[in-house]
Amino acid sequence: MKGFLVPFALFALALSLFLLTHKKGAEVLMVNQYSSSLLDKVFLWITDLGLGSYLVVIAILLGVWSFRWTILALGSLSWVGILTFLFKRLVFVSETRPMHYFYYADFPRFLYDAPLIYFHSFPSGHTMAAFGFFSILSYFSGNRTIGAVFFLIASLIGFSRIYLLQHFGGDVLAGSILGIIASLLSILIFDILLRLDSRRRFQKGLWHLLAGGTD
């Protein structure tokens, strides 16, 4: 998981320094001035990779190779759902999104294809789901290079939320941290406490069963 966590630490530090030294929303306007119709389409596609419904389907499909993978991935996404509800619906209910915080004329270029959502900004749910899910995949891989690739995917999803005028940098930063916390909680419960990583029946997947495996 180091391949994911090391670049994440650098990412979190750099973004934190930027947010501390700039006014709220500066990153949104900065990114927006480089937007284009082509990039709109690219990031509208990328941002969908952070939809919890898609990630749940992928998590279930992981059971073809390992039931443990599915359990941990769904565990992480479950924590993401709990944290999203707590923060968005109970704690930071009135936090506004960029499209409400700014006037339309403030944007160098307005994105008409982006969803018009005005509240429940903190934290970014897409980012939380992405970092929770892909950090778990990094944990499964045990490979630093693959972990770095998974970090890149998660960070692009987080960036897409800023590009599409859906979230501020602080929302994305908090979402990324909470996403990793969700994956660590899943690892703590299922691998450290319940020891699924040492139980052979959970190491195998549906493919093994269909092939007639019994051990």
CATH code where residue 198 lies: 1.20.144
pLDDT value of position 55: 95
- Residue 21 belongs to some domain of the structure: no
Q: pLDDT tens for residues 177-204?
A: 999 999 999 999 999 999 988 877 777 7
89 pLDDT above the threshold of 90: no
Query: In this predicted model, what pLDDT tens digit does every residue of 48-86 receive, in sequence order?
Result: 999 989 999 999 999 988 999 999 999 999 999 999 999
Confidence at residue 88, expressed as pLDDT on a 0 to 100 scale: 87
Mean pLDDT of 156-185: 96
DSSP string, 85-113: IIIIIIISTTPPPHHHHS-GGGSSS--TT
Number of folded domains that form the chain: 1
Assess if residue 28 is contained within a domain. Answer: no
> For the chain, what percent of residues have pLDDT higher than 70?
97
In a domain, 215, yes or no: no
Distance CA 29, CA 17 (A): 17
114 neighbors 92 (Cβ within 8 angstroms): no
Q: What is the mean pLDDT of residues 173-178?
A: 96
What percentage of the chain has pLDDT greater than the value 90?
74
Q: What is the mean pLDDT of the chain?
A: 92
Q: Are 8 and 139 in contact (CB under 8 A)?
A: no
For range 24-44, the mean pLDDT: 95
Nearest CA to 24 among 164, 169, 146? Answer: 169
Structural domain contains residue 60: yes
Question: What pTM was computed for the model?
Answer: 0.92
Give me the mean pLDDT over the 5-22 stretch.
95
Are the C-beta atoms of 41 and 188 separated by less than 8 Å? no
Q: What is the pLDDT of residue 197?
A: 82
Q: In this structure, are residues 95 and 148 in contact, taking their beta carbons and an 8 Å threshold? A: no
Residue 115: pLDDT above 60?
Answer: yes
Answer whether residue 33 is part of any domain.
no
> Dihedral through CA 166, CA 170, CA 173, CA 177, nearest 10?
-110
In this structure, is residue 66 part of a structural domain?
yes
Is the pLDDT at 155 greater than 60, yes or no?
Answer: yes
Q: Which phi-psi region, left, alpha or beta, contains residue 93 (left: φ > 0; alpha: ψ -120 to 50)?
A: alpha
| In-domain check, residue 111 | yes
195: how many CB neighbours lie within 10 A of its CB? 10
pLDDT at 102 over 90: yes
pLDDT at 19: 96
- Segments in the chain forming alpha helices (H): 2-21, 26-32, 37-47, 52-61, 67-84, 98-101, 125-141, 144-163, 169-187, 200-203, 206-210
Residue 91, pLDDT score: 87
- Phi, psi of 94, deg, nearest 5: -95, 5
| 167, 24 contact by CB (below 8 A) | no
Q: Which two tokens stand for residue 43?
A: 């990031």
Domain containing 49: what range? 2-11+41-210
Predicted confidence at residue 213, as pLDDT, reads: 59
